[in-house]
Amino acid sequence: MASGCADETGPTEGTSWRLIGPAAGLSEKRCRLMRSSLGRGSDVCLFYVKGEFFAMDARCAHSGGPLCEGDIEEADGVLRVFCPWHYYDFDLRTGKSGTSLQQKVHEVKLEDGNVYVKHASCLSLQPVDEKS
Protein backbone atom coordinates (compact mmCIF):
# COMPACT_ATOMS: atom_id res chain seq x y z
CA MET A 1 0.00 0.00 0.00
CA ALA A 2 1.00 3.57 -0.48
CA SER A 3 3.01 5.68 1.90
CA GLY A 4 1.34 8.75 3.33
CA CYS A 5 3.79 10.96 1.43
CA ALA A 6 3.68 9.42 -2.04
CA ASP A 7 1.58 12.36 -3.23
CA GLU A 8 3.58 15.03 -1.44
CA THR A 9 5.54 17.64 -3.36
CA GLY A 10 6.38 20.14 -0.60
CA PRO A 11 8.05 20.04 2.82
CA THR A 12 6.75 17.69 5.50
CA GLU A 13 6.03 20.53 7.92
CA GLY A 14 2.42 21.61 8.30
CA THR A 15 -0.73 19.60 7.95
CA SER A 16 -1.33 18.00 4.55
CA TRP A 17 -3.53 15.32 3.02
CA ARG A 18 -1.61 12.04 3.17
CA LEU A 19 -2.46 9.22 0.76
CA ILE A 20 -3.01 6.05 2.81
CA GLY A 21 -4.20 3.63 0.11
CA PRO A 22 -7.19 2.16 -1.71
CA ALA A 23 -10.44 2.24 0.27
CA ALA A 24 -11.35 -1.27 -0.91
CA GLY A 25 -8.35 -2.82 0.84
CA LEU A 26 -8.42 -0.55 3.89
CA SER A 27 -12.07 -1.37 4.59
CA GLU A 28 -11.21 -5.03 5.22
CA LYS A 29 -10.07 -4.35 8.82
CA ARG A 30 -11.72 -2.35 11.61
CA CYS A 31 -8.49 -0.66 12.62
CA ARG A 32 -5.07 -0.16 11.09
CA LEU A 33 -2.09 1.46 12.73
CA MET A 34 -0.51 4.16 10.59
CA ARG A 35 3.03 4.92 11.65
CA SER A 36 4.18 8.52 11.65
CA SER A 37 7.55 9.73 10.40
CA LEU A 38 7.61 11.93 13.56
CA GLY A 39 7.76 8.86 15.81
CA ARG A 40 5.52 6.61 17.86
CA GLY A 41 3.81 9.46 19.73
CA SER A 42 2.36 10.75 16.44
CA ASP A 43 1.04 7.42 15.11
CA VAL A 44 -2.59 7.35 13.98
CA CYS A 45 -5.35 4.72 14.03
CA LEU A 46 -7.46 4.44 10.89
CA PHE A 47 -10.83 2.96 11.86
CA TYR A 48 -13.41 1.56 9.43
CA VAL A 49 -16.78 1.22 11.13
CA LYS A 50 -20.29 1.05 9.67
CA GLY A 51 -19.08 1.98 6.19
CA GLU A 52 -17.10 5.04 7.30
CA PHE A 53 -13.44 5.86 7.96
CA PHE A 54 -12.25 7.71 11.08
CA ALA A 55 -8.73 8.64 12.21
CA MET A 56 -7.37 9.58 15.63
CA ASP A 57 -4.08 9.53 17.48
CA ALA A 58 -3.14 5.93 18.15
CA ARG A 59 -2.05 6.32 21.80
CA CYS A 60 -4.69 6.95 24.47
CA ALA A 61 -4.57 10.46 25.95
CA HIS A 62 -4.70 8.91 29.45
CA SER A 63 -1.69 6.56 29.58
CA GLY A 64 -0.69 5.86 25.98
CA GLY A 65 -2.65 2.64 25.52
CA PRO A 66 -2.98 1.20 21.99
CA LEU A 67 -6.40 2.34 20.75
CA CYS A 68 -6.24 0.07 17.68
CA GLU A 69 -6.57 -2.86 20.10
CA GLY A 70 -9.63 -1.35 21.82
CA ASP A 71 -13.27 -2.37 21.52
CA ILE A 72 -15.57 -0.26 19.38
CA GLU A 73 -19.16 0.14 20.51
CA GLU A 74 -22.14 2.23 19.47
CA ALA A 75 -24.49 3.80 22.00
CA ASP A 76 -27.17 6.37 21.18
CA GLY A 77 -25.75 6.77 17.67
CA VAL A 78 -22.23 7.56 18.94
CA LEU A 79 -19.34 5.30 17.92
CA ARG A 80 -16.72 5.01 20.65
CA VAL A 81 -13.40 3.23 20.97
CA PHE A 82 -12.43 1.97 24.43
CA CYS A 83 -8.78 1.88 25.42
CA PRO A 84 -7.82 -1.71 26.32
CA TRP A 85 -5.67 -0.58 29.27
CA HIS A 86 -8.05 1.43 31.47
CA TYR A 87 -11.26 1.43 29.38
CA TYR A 88 -11.37 5.18 28.73
CA ASP A 89 -13.76 5.85 25.85
CA PHE A 90 -13.40 8.26 22.92
CA ASP A 91 -15.95 9.35 20.31
CA LEU A 92 -14.56 8.37 16.89
CA ARG A 93 -15.88 11.60 15.31
CA THR A 94 -14.90 14.18 17.93
CA GLY A 95 -12.31 12.49 20.17
CA LYS A 96 -14.31 13.53 23.24
CA SER A 97 -14.39 11.18 26.20
CA GLY A 98 -16.90 10.57 28.97
CA THR A 99 -14.12 12.01 31.15
CA SER A 100 -12.33 15.31 30.70
CA LEU A 101 -9.88 13.70 28.27
CA GLN A 102 -9.77 14.65 24.58
CA GLN A 103 -8.23 12.45 21.91
CA LYS A 104 -6.94 14.20 18.77
CA VAL A 105 -8.89 13.27 15.65
CA HIS A 106 -7.78 13.75 12.05
CA GLU A 107 -9.86 14.54 8.98
CA VAL A 108 -10.36 11.70 6.50
CA LYS A 109 -11.49 11.98 2.90
CA LEU A 110 -12.21 9.54 0.09
CA GLU A 111 -11.15 10.61 -3.37
CA ASP A 112 -10.99 8.49 -6.53
CA GLY A 113 -11.29 5.30 -4.44
CA ASN A 114 -8.39 6.25 -2.14
CA VAL A 115 -8.31 7.17 1.54
CA TYR A 116 -6.48 10.33 2.64
CA VAL A 117 -5.80 11.51 6.21
CA LYS A 118 -4.88 15.08 7.10
CA HIS A 119 -1.75 14.95 9.25
CA ALA A 120 1.47 16.86 9.97
CA SER A 121 3.75 13.96 9.02
CA CYS A 122 4.16 11.15 6.54
CA LEU A 123 2.01 8.16 7.50
CA SER A 124 2.74 4.57 6.58
CA LEU A 125 1.03 1.25 7.09
CA GLN A 126 4.54 -0.27 7.17
CA PRO A 127 7.13 0.25 9.92
CA VAL A 128 9.03 3.53 9.54
CA ASP A 129 12.82 3.28 9.53
CA GLU A 130 14.12 4.55 12.87
CA LYS A 131 17.24 6.71 12.74
CA SER A 132 19.79 5.94 15.43
Q: pLDDT tens, 29-65?
A: 999 999 999 999 999 999 999 999 999 999 999 999 9
Domain limits at 89? 16-121
The helix or strand, by DSSP H or E, that contains position 23, with its residue range, turns out to be helix 23-26
Burial pattern 84-107, b for ≥16 Cβ within 10 A else e, equals: eeeebbbbbeebbbeeeeebebbe
Would 129 be classed as within a structural domain?
no
Three-class DSSP labels, 69-121: HCEEEEECCEEEEECCCCCCEEECCCCECCCCCECCEECEEEECCEEEEEECC
Closest by Cα among 56, 45, 41 to 93: 56
Which DSSP letter does residue 58 get? Answer: S
User: In which order are the strands placed within the sheet that holds 78-82?
Assistant: 71-75, 78-82, 89-91
Separation between Cα atoms, residue 55 and residue 33, nearest integer Å = 10
Is 67 inside a domain boundary? Answer: yes
Determine the pLDDT at residue 13. 55
User: Quick check: is 9 in a domain?
Assistant: no
pTM of this prediction? 0.87
DSSP 59: B
Pick the residue with more confidence: 71 or 131? 71
How many domains does the chain contain in total? 1
In this prediction, residue 127 has a pLDDT band, given cuts at 50, 70 and 90, of confident
- We report the CATH number of the domain holding residue 110 as 2.102.10.10
